[in-house]
């Protein structure tokens, strides 16, 4: 069952990867495909490296500051920022 789901995700990713490349955005991961559009854009605005905790504090603060109030509230409710 899991293999069928994974195969379906890979097929969808292959189908849409051209559209993401044309927009200059990396192809989303399996976890990112499960997010709604607002959550996806906030996570992309913060960047993948934001969640690996390999950034210095100034970079983290700058990325959080780049969010508008609505995006910040969404990130805070999801536990992505404090």
Residue 30 lies in a domain: no
Q: Which residue has the higher pLDDT, 69 or 8?
A: 69
Structure token digits, residue 52? 């690996």
Domain that holds residue 41: 35-82
Q: How far apart are CA 76 and CA 28, in angstroms?
A: 22
Q: Is 19 in the same domain as 40?
A: no
Q: How far apart are CA 80 and CA 77, in angstroms?
A: 8
Q: Is 44 in the same domain as 78?
A: yes
> What pLDDT, on the 0 to 100 scale, is given for residue 70?
92
Taking only the tens place, the pLDDT of each residue in 28-49 is 677 777 777 788 888 888 887 8
Q: Is 20 in the same domain as 45?
A: no
Structure token digits, residue 61? 């603060």
Q: How far apart are CA 45 and CA 65, in angstroms?
A: 11
Confidence of residue 72 (pLDDT cuts 50, 70, 90): very high
Confidence of residue 12 (pLDDT cuts 50, 70, 90): confident
Domain count, the chain: 2
């Amino acid at each position: 069952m899991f293999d069928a789901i994974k195969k379906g995700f890979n097929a969808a990713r292959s189908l849409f990867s051209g559209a993401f490349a044309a927009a200059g955005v990396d192809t989303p991961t399996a976890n990112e495909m499960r997010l709604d559009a607002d959550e996806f854009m906030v996570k992309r605005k913060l960047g993948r490296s934001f969640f690996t905790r390999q950034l210095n504090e100034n970079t983290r603060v700058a990325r959080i500051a780049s969010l508008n109030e609505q995006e910040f509230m969404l990130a805070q409710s999801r536990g992505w920022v404090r």
